[in-house]
């Protein structure tokens, strides 16, 4: 039986070739993704694991590692008695109001720009400018605009007959609102661009059909525009909320959490505890809370995306 072995060797060779090419693919694959994997592991994965561990420790930067003490849940218990932490959580929650506000303004602008204006690209660029500008520079400009006695904003208000305009960022009752106004001003550009793209993806036939049925503008908006762009709205809502948890530059430059903790937020409190008070363990506990909140929102997004959104 001379033929059989030769067939066997042929399939063997083919198998070997296949294995070899498979191995080559695997090696190539790993070579391509290795730089990213190493970077992500060292800069994100390892630190986030370390954050969870350090949250159970009592340690200061300046001390040697021998002084590190394990304290169990003490840091987390401390959070509930920490007025500044509670205030930060409340402020973060209030700050979320900027998201729907920005979305409504952006949607109105987007509809107007998309359908009822000439020079579309001018408008896109104009409203997008704050978003790409340096937050530090913007914060400094607004700080002067909000100047209590001489700032242009209050001068204008006074010229309209308002005798005691708010002192904005130096007034505990208005400081958070001031920061929120600036945040909205910055975020409109991003929301606007995404909304315009969403509007342009709506098939024209839908509106033509509605026209034939004699639908008015409001009907067209509530029955066509709004449902069709709901995935866009949902995306903007989630990314917007997550973005409010990352607001740092504005607070750091404008208010440093003050006056009277009226603008402290989780990220600011974390920075304050870690890098100004050097409380590593306590700051890590705040970081864990921050992580869990953002993580939960992301998971909720994944679950609810399919259910709520009208594709």
Partner 1 sequence: MKFNLKKMLTTFILFFCSIAFLLPFVWMLSTSMKIEADVFKFPIEWIPSRWNFVSNYQEVWFGDHPFYLYYWNSIKVAVITTLLSVVVSALAAYGFSKVKFRASAWLFLIVLATYMVPPQASLVPQFILYRYIGLFDSHLGLILLGSFSVLGTFMLRQFFMGIHNDFIDAAKIDGAGHWRIFWKISLPIVKPAVATYAILRFIWTWNDYQNPLIFLRTDALYTIQLAMQKFTTINGSFYTLIMAAAVSAILPLLIVFILGQKHVIDGIALGGVKG
Ranges within 62-81 binding partner 1 (CB under 8 A)? none
Region of 12-20, 21-29, 91-99, 170-178 interacting with partner 1 (CB under 8 A): 21-29
119 forms part of the interface with partner 1 (CB under 8 A): yes
User: Could you say which residues in the range 191-210 bind partner 1, by CB under 8 A?
Assistant: 193-194, 196-198, 201
How distant, in Å, are the alpha carbons of 72, 82, 269 from that of 246? 27, 21, 12
Task: Judge whether 153 and 168 are in contact, CB under 8 Å.
Answer: yes
Which among 105-113, 165-173, 204-212, 218-226 is the span making contact with partner 1, rule CB under 8 A? 105-113
d(CA 190, CA 197): 11
Rounded to 5 degrees, φ, ψ at 60 are -115, 150
257 and 264 Cβ atoms separated by less than 8 Å: yes
Alpha-helical regions (H) of the chain: 3-40, 46-54, 74-81, 83-95, 98-116, 120-132, 135-145, 152-159, 175-200, 204-212, 217-220, 226-228, 230-244, 249-254, 266-271, 280-308
Q: Would you say 176 or 266 has its CB closer to partner 1?
A: 266
Total residues interacting with partner 1, rule: CB under 8 A: 94
**Residues 129-168: x/- map of binding to partner 1 (CB under 8 A)?**
xx-xxxxxxx-xxx-xx-x--xxx--x---x---------
Does 28 bind partner 1 (CB under 8 A)? Our answer is yes
Residues 237-296 that bind partner 1 (CB under 8 A): 242, 245-246, 248-249, 252-253, 267, 270-271, 274-275, 280, 283-284, 287-288, 290-291, 294-295
| Smallest distance from partner 1 to CB 134, Å | 5
């Amino acid at each position: 039986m001379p033929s059989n072995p030769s067939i066997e060797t042929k399939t063997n060779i083919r198998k070997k070739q296949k294995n070899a090419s498979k191995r080559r693919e695997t090696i190539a694959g790993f070579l391509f993704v290795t730089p990213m994997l190493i970077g992500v592991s060292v800069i994100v994965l390892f630190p986030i694991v370390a954050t969870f561990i350090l949250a159970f420790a009592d340690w200061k930067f300046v001390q040697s590692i021998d002084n590190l003490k394990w304290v169990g849940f003490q840091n987390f218990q401390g959070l509930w008695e920490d007025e500044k932490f509670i205030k930060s959580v409340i402020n973060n929650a209030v700050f979320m109001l900027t998201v729907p506000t920005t979305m409504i303004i952006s949607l109105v602008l987007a509809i107007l720009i998309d359908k009822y204006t000439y020079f579309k690209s001018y408008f896109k660029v104009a409203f997008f400018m704050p978003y790409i500008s340096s937050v530090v520079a913007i914060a400094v400009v607004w700080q002067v605009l909000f100047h209590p006695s001489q700032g242009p904003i209050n001068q204008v208000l006074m010229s309209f007959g308002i005798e005691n305009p708010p002192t904005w960022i130096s007034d505990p009752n208005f400081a958070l609102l001031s920061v929120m106004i600036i945040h909205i001003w910055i975020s409109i550009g991003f929301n606007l661009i995404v909304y315009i793209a969403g509007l342009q993806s709506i098939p024209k036939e839908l509106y033509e059909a509605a026209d034939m049925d004699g639908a008015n503008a409001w009907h067209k908006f509530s029955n066509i525009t709004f449902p069709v762009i709901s995935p866009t709205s949902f995306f903007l809502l989630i990314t917007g909320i997550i973005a409010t948890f990352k607001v740092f530059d504005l607070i750091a430059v404008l208010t440093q959490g003050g006056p009277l903790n009226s603008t402290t937020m989780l990220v600011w409190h974390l920075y304050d505890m870690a890098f100004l008070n050097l409380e590593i363990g306590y700051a890590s506990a705040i970081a864990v809370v921050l992580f869990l909140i953002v993580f939960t929102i992301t998971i909720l997004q994944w679950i609810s995306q399919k259910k709520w959104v009208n594709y």
